[in-house]
Amino acid sequence: MKTLEDLKKLISTIVEQIKSTDHEIGECYPEQDEDGWGMCCDYTDNYFSYEEDGWMIEITYRCCGEWDCDSGDYWTPPSCDLRKAWGEVTEITATHYDDDTDEETEFSEDDLDELWKAIDEELKDIA
């Protein structure tokens, strides 16, 4: 049976894998409403899973960014360059299944708090 300490040992590995993931990034743009101008963010959902040695950790997170977009002209094709991007975790589930004992360990939201915070910290500044 895996413990919370076993899960904590995986945090740096999971954060490093998420760091090297090619994130889908939404768009943030200025928009005017009755209160004046503000930023509107269209986040894009992302999914990451860690499946190794009986572990099944699923992480859903969303990302958004500020893009420099050029519509192009007759000689220059349109282009978009990412200026800045960020993200945040929306859900995490974690279980471990031991083939030898046929035991499954499910971790609670409280157990996943440290992992959640570590990933959120990594996603604060993607680009």
pLDDT digits (tens, 9 = 90+) for 51-103: 999 999 999 999 999 888 777 778 877 777 888 999 999 999 999 999 889 89
Q: Provide the domain count of the chain.
A: 1
Structure token pair of residue 63: 């990302």
One-character DSSP codes across 44-110: EEEEEEEEETTEEEEEEEEEEEEEEEE---SSS--EEEEEEEEEEEEEEEEEEEETTTTEEEE--TT
Q: Is pLDDT larger for residue 40 or for residue 62?
A: 62
Its domain, for residue 54, covers 4-123
Chain mean position to CA 48: 7
- The pTM is what? 0.85
